[in-house]
Structure 1
Amino acid sequence: MKKNKFMTFLKKYFYLFFCIGLFSLSICTIVMGRNYKLRNNDKNIEEFKEITDNLQKKKVDLVRNKQNFLRKNQNIYSILIGINLSKQFFLQKKYTQAIDVLKRILIITEEENLILYIKLNLVKIYVKKKDFSPALDIIRTVNNSEWNELFQQYKKFILLKKRSQ
């Protein structure tokens, strides 16, 4: 009987210590996890800032590299890079630089559809820049029946914009 009471006494304390130990371990895990997340979050923010700074530097270097490639080469690759570069300038709202790049690659382009594509981009930039007379001049030079309809839509749009001003 004494042995039975002693065993139940041990079981109670064992379960009590087990529950207290489990509870304290879970609290320690939660506290340590929060501290780790805070430290890790600060580290992630610093890494993110460093990466964005590097990306900004690379973008500037990339634009310079594209401009240098465009100056040195006169092939299809330089035309494609020039189109991409003009798009970058357009998105940055540097319209005059985008126009200069497109005019430069227009000189070396021999493919008719590519020439018309470049001219269409020039028209779009002139419209965005609200400089309508060069855009109309470009539209007047288009004689291709497949592209003419698209350019005529821009012509109508430009004429409406001119009248509204």
Structure 2
Amino acid sequence: MKKNKFMIFLKKYFYLFFCVGLFSLSICTIVMGRNYKLKNNNKNIEEFKEIADNLQKKKVDLISTKQKFFNNNKNIYSILVGINLSKQFFSQKKYTQAINILKKTLFITQEENLILYIKLNLVKIYVKKKDFSSALDIIRTVNNSEWNDFFQQYKKFILLKKRSQ
């Protein structure tokens, strides 16, 4: 009888220590995961600040640094850098590179207004490149009522340009 009570007593404490150990391991895992995310996020923020500082200093190798950052990261900072890169390529009249960068940012971003902004920039580049069919294809994909007016203005402009050719 005493042996049975002792075994029950041992089982209770074993389960208690097992549950406490499992709970502490799960807490440690969560804390370590958050620290890893914070460390990784701080690294991205530091790289983004470095790019912004380089922009102010107007270093020559800024575009290659931005491209490297854009290709290595898939977060909001890389989206902003990608939009800026496409703007630079557009001003240098390198339209195909600007289009490629914007298409890559479309795969990264998840925010609807940002997606529509990028699509609007793509339409502008296609119009400048005189690739009206691609611009119209993008305009047809827009279903947002708030952005539809912007795209419809470009659609009218594109149709007028097509007729004049």
| TM-score class, shorter | 0.5 to 0.7
Q: How does 1:139-154 map to 2 (within 5 A)?
A: 139-154=139-154
Between the two proteins, what is the percent identity of the paired residues? Answer: 80
Post-superposition offset of 1:140: 0.1
1:26-77 CA distances to partner (integer Å, 9 max, x unpaired)? xxxxxxxxxxxxxxxxxxxxxxxxxxxx95xx23x11000000011000000
**Divergent runs of 4+, >4 A:** none
1:41-120 maps to which residues of 2 (within 5 A)?
A: 58-59=59-60, 61-120=61-120
The whole-number CA distance in structure 1 between the counterparts of 2:62 and 2:117 is 24
C-alpha separation in 1, matches of 2:149 and 2:62: 36
Alpha-carbon separation, structure 2, partners of 1:157 and 1:112: 24
Residue 88 of structure 1: how far off its partner (Å): 0.3
In structure 2, runs of 5+ residues without a counterpart are 1-56
Are 1:135 and 2:132 matched, yes or no?
A: no
SS in 2 for 1:74: coil
Separation (CA, whole Å) in 2 of partners of 1:96 and 1:75: 23
Q: Which amino acid aligns with 1:63?
A: I
| 1:89 partner letter | F
Q: Which protein has the larger Cα radius of gyration, Structure 1 or Structure 2?
A: 1
Q: 1:163: which partner in 2?
A: 163
Q: What is the one-letter code of the residue matched to 2:63?
A: V
Distance 2:75 2:158 in 1: 33
CA distance in 1, matches of 2:69, 2:90: 19
TM-score relative to the length of structure 2: 0.65
| Displacement of 1:150 | 0.7
Q: Which residue number in structure 2 is paired with residue 35 of structure 1? A: none
Amino acid at match of 1:81: V
Cα distance in 1 for partners of 2:66, 2:106 equals 16
Aligned length: 109
**1: CA distance between counterparts of 2:69 and 2:105?**
12
1:94 is displaced (CA, Å) by 0.5
Which one-letter code corresponds to 2:78 in the other structure?
A: S
Amino acid at match of 2:155: K
What is the distance in 1 between the residues matched to 2:105 and 2:67? Answer: 11
